[in-house]
Amino acid sequence: MDHFKHFFAPPGGVDSHFHAVVMQERDLPVADILTRAFSDGLVYALDIATTLEDFPRRLSVLSDFSGVYLTAGVHPSGAGSEDIERVRTLLPEQLAHPRVIGLGEIGLDWYRNYGTPPAQRDLFEVQIEIANRLHLPVIIHNRQAEADILDILRAHPPESESIMHCFSADTDYARKFMDLGFSISFAGNLTFKKSDDLRDVARFIPEDRLLAETDAPFLAPEPARGRPNHPGYVGHTYGVLAQLRDISLEDLSASITRNFRRIFRLS
């Protein structure tokens, strides 16, 4: 497969959420893709954790890319199998690495029903506690669980400005999450033909709360839908956002990069 077909990395832009190791497991040439994306003008990309185990491998895969930062954290899929005390011990060690700038992705997933609901909630709450202790933003995973996530975030509010990743809820929930200090990140599903409701949400988000991502290798945007996703496709989501908001791609990229720098306290 030609992974460079439909390549579109927006100059001055950011991919705020991708998974390098999962891309590698799907036979994507991660180094080649990132090299071209940064050559085309991408400024930053954020590699997102799902487990504690793959942290050394992620560091190794991304060692040559100074514009790529990492998070550490345990996805809801770890609920029930990951020992909470191990998370309390090992996660802060990974978060102390100089290339790690946030905690995630964490949250709730009622679509897959990982572990049990109490186990997912416990894992979520413990990681918010760690993020607050270390003054780090969190990146939230939501799959058919926005009401329960909202309840947990109100009871255990993150102290740092944080991100709702791959947003798929409605405008009312977007407003409620922003009231708690969250920015809203849109992925390739924003470009799908049947995503009119989501595009309405994207028009609503204020400029200073907007981010874009790939969630690679998942959710490849049109016109690359059906292919494994990667950061070189993030420009297609930028293109739709720019059109929806009636601004230039350059101005959108500048806004999103400014938001990314603010959230993660990058100079």
pLDDT digits (tens, 9 = 90+) for 89-135: 999 999 999 999 999 999 999 999 899 999 999 999 999 999 999 99
Sign of CA dihedral 59, 62, 68, 74: negative
Report whether pLDDT(80) > 90: no
> What beta strand segments (E) does 165-222 contain?
182-186, 210-212
Segment (H or E) for 18:
strand 14-18
Cα distances from 231 to residues 12, 37, 182, in angstroms, run 13, 7, 23
Give me the CATH topology for the region 14-264. TIM Barrel (3.20.20)
> Domain residues of the chain, as ranges?
14-264
pLDDT in tens, 124-180: 999 999 999 999 999 999 999 999 999 999 999 999 999 999 999 999 999 999 999
Rg of the Cα trace of the chain?
17
- Residues 101 and 97: their CA atoms lie apart, in Å, by 9
> Which one, of 237, 241, 224, 260, lies nearest residue 28 by Cα?
224
Cα distances from 68 to residues 34, 99, 104, 240, 254, in angstroms, run 9, 8, 15, 24, 18
In the chain, the amino acid numbered 246 is: D
- Residues 255 and 210: their CA atoms lie apart, in Å, by 8
Report whether pLDDT(267) > 90: no
**Cα atoms found within 13 Å of the Cα of residue 47, Cβ hemisphere only:** 27
Sign of CA dihedral 219, 225, 231, 237: negative
In the chain, the amino acid numbered 84 is: I
**Is 230 in contact with 221 (CB distance < 8 Å)?**
no
The DSSP string of 136-177 is: --EEEEEES-HHHHHHHHHHS--SS-EEE-S--S-HHHHHHH
Report whether pLDDT(35) > 90: yes
216 bridge partner residues: 18
In the chain, the amino acid numbered 2 is: D
Q: What is the mean pLDDT of the chain?
A: 97
Indicate yes or no: pTM above 0.75. yes
